[in-house]
Amino acid sequence: MTITEADKKTVRERAGNCCEYCRLSEASQTVPFHIDHFIPKKHDGEDDTDNLCLACVKCNTHKSHDLTGFDPMTGDITPLFNPRQQDWDDHFEVQSDMKILGLTSNGRTRVRVLRMNDEDRVENRQILHTLNDYPCEKS
């Protein structure tokens, strides 16, 4: 099976054209976002829209084929936040300095694995926030 244009449209619309991991707006970026397999095909993930999400290039690149990571608070191996099964606001909070705080083990692990608070990413969010273009909200 392959991802159809209709599937891509469904994923983009469901995400509100926002990265489902870091909440960047696709419109604010120069590179189109990726349709990401939450469970990668390498791990037998399907092309079904229930396994697909919209991800900015940096989030998708850092995620790669990962399904888990180490929770930086506990050191435990933890599944990554899954935007198809979990609510973003339950697992993350955007702080006033535009760093993303992981509120749960899934959230902390996702922030760490995707390097969401790398200096360049935080600076980008700060600029976008001053332009009222971050965080992206699903419509």
| Burial of 39 from C-beta contacts in 10 A (0-12 / 13-18 / 19+) | middle
Strands (E), 19-76: 34-37, 52-55, 68-70
User: 128 to each of 16, 39, 91, 113, how far by Cα in Å?
Assistant: 17, 30, 22, 23
In degrees and rounded to multiples of 5, residue 91 shows phi and psi of -115, -15
pLDDT band (50, 70, 90) for residue 1: low
Domain locations in the chain? 5-130
pLDDT of residue 139: 55
Of 127, 108, 129, the C-alpha closest to 117 is 108
| Tens digits of residue pLDDT in 39-60 | 999 999 999 999 999 999 999 9
